[in-house]
Amino acid sequence: MSDLGLAGDDLEQMYQEFILDVSRDPHGKVHFATDVSLDTSEQAADTLTLTSTAQEPHAACVMAQSHQFNPTCGDEVTVRLELSDGSDGQDPHIQSLVWDGHGCSISQASLSVMTDMVVGTSLEEFTTLSETFHNLMTSRGKGLPNEADNELLGDATAFEGVSKFPMRIKCALLGWAAVKDSLAQALTHLPAAQPAKA
């Protein structure tokens, strides 16, 4: 996301509007997780539906998922991804990613932007993106000093203002934690010859 030469307050307002807009129509969000607000009998019926319509992984892929919860804000997400197993001669990469959950506009927008960024990335590329976004979130509103890092994050730089509020940083990082956990699970099922790092 380019700053278009805007002054600080105007830029922050534009970023806030971007986060709100993205959270209203998030990318990668589908319904597959059991709703924890349902009573036990409804959950059982929902689980049967999920089991019967369970997504099968693509050929040469390992599927994994992770559920994460942010008690501070009440954000909750389940990320489901497919990691290619490298049998096609390419480095293992995130083949697909979908998520289900609810939460504040920051968590929903962050999940959406993250989905667009990480699908198709190798493990090394994901690690670089994740570390760079984490650095942005710990910048306390100062942003990233390296222009190359800002370009790497693209639209995710809109979350710079979130880093000023420690209680909201977990909201923005929730999806990233779920992807890291999912990748760690998927890596345990890759052929032994593959590097085991995420």
| Average per-residue pLDDT for the chain | 83
* CA–CA dist 87, 145 (Å, integer): 39
Tell me, yes or no, whether 104 lies in a domain: yes
Which residues share a beta bridge with 76? 69, 102
* CA–CA dist 180, 191 (Å, integer): 19
Q: Is the pLDDT of residue 42 over 50?
A: no
Tell me, yes or no, whether 195 lies in a domain: no
Domain containing 76: what range?
28-54+62-187
Radius of gyration for the alpha carbons in the chain, expressed in angstroms and rounded: 18
Q: Are 105 and 162 in contact (CB under 8 A)?
A: no
Residue 43 has a pLDDT of: 39
* pLDDT category of residue 3 using cuts at 50, 70 and 90: very low
* CA–CA dist 82, 110 (Å, integer): 20
Number of domains in the chain: 1
Tell me, yes or no, whether 45 lies in a domain: yes
Tell me, yes or no, whether 79 lies in a domain: yes
Query: What's the pTM?
Result: 0.79
Q: Is the pLDDT of residue 52 over 80?
A: no
Instruction: At 65, list the tokens.
Output: 């998922």
Tell me, yes or no, whether 23 lies in a domain: no
* pLDDT category of residue 197 using cuts at 50, 70 and 90: low
Q: Are 23 and 109 in contact (CB under 8 A)?
A: yes
Tell me, yes or no, whether 198 lies in a domain: no
Tell me, yes or no, whether 130 lies in a domain: yes
Tell me, yes or no, whether 139 lies in a domain: yes
* CA–CA dist 129, 17 (Å, integer): 23
DSSP assigned state of 90: S
> Which helix (H) or strand (E) is 149 found in, with range?
helix 147-153
Helix, strand, or coil here: 94?
strand
Helix, strand, or coil here: 130?
helix
Q: Are 63 and 82 in contact (CB under 8 A)?
A: yes
Percent of residues, the chain, with pLDDT higher than 70:
77
- Provide the CATH number for the domain around residue 72: 3.90.1010.10
